[in-house]
Amino acid sequence: MLVTGGSRGIGRGIVLAAARAGADVVTCYRQENDYVTSLEKELAPLPGTHHVLRADVSVAADARRLAERAKELLGGLDAVVNNAGDFAPTPYAELTDAAWATALQSNLNSTHQVTQTVLPLLGAGASIVNFGSTVARIGMAGGVHYTAVKQALVGLTRSLARELGPQGIRVNTVSPGRIATEALDELPPEVAAQQRAMFSKFNALGRLGTPQEIANVVLFLISDQASYITGQNIHVDGCV
């Protein structure tokens, strides 16, 4: 199993959940930090073989290198989770060409580059999960560039599902709502509390989601229990 962007947040939750479930996992990160070290420590006692590699999948050469390493380490892949992405809020009137290009490269191009390079490693029964966002459906002030590329990922998923379906490969999108990750914990306590309260009002359940709740859906989608689900965009957002 390959999970991109697995050192923090939702990606980390998926990596750990998959490893605990018995999967052999390869994941990647862009920059050395304490999260990488702590992830390696958490993975060490878990069953299976796990590898945490440095790779920026928004760079085509890194995506190819990651695919080559996955082949060397695991031989093949039965699941690919394209979680890596980036977002910097910017009012549309101030959105530069560089910011637009970065959103495209880090979210859409990275998914394309990883998926295309790992295709030879996927066989019948394999599953690809791409990551969209609930805001692509409802819109977001200051996030025109982000919502645009996330909506594009939904179209990419649907077309890939049709193209790869005859090979027995399923492709789906997971679109999370607001999830409580380390990013909230890094804010000043009063700011974090304000954000939790504000975003909790946006959905029917009145709370933020957790990385584990996203991981649960991903593990279902890559399992045989989801063998007839493909081309779908699954919203995991507490009903926004």
Average pLDDT of the residues in 91-113: 97
CB-based contacts of 119, cutoff 8 Å, min separation 6: none
Average pLDDT of the residues in 26-45: 97
> Is 2-236 assigned to CATH 3.40.50.720?
yes
Residue 185 has a pLDDT of 79
Q: Which helix (H) or strand (E) holds 131?
A: strand 122-131
Return the active site residues: 146
Per-domain residue ranges of the chain:
2-236
Handedness of CA 64, 69, 70, 76 (dihedral sign): positive
Q: What is the pLDDT of residues 144-197, one digit of tens each?
A: 999 999 999 999 999 999 999 999 999 999 999 999 988 887 888 888 888 889
Predicted confidence (pLDDT) at residue 104 exceeds the cutoff of 90: yes
Predicted confidence (pLDDT) at residue 214 exceeds the cutoff of 90: yes
Residue 184 has a pLDDT of 81
210 closest CA partner among 180, 240, 184, 230: 180
Give the angle 209-86-130 at the CA atoms, nearest 5°.
65
Describe the crossing of helices 211-221 and 9-20 by its angle, rounded to 10 degrees. Answer: 60
Record the pTM. Answer: 0.96
DSSP 71-109: HHHHSSEEEEEE---------GGG--HHHHHHHIIIIII
Amino acid type, 139: G
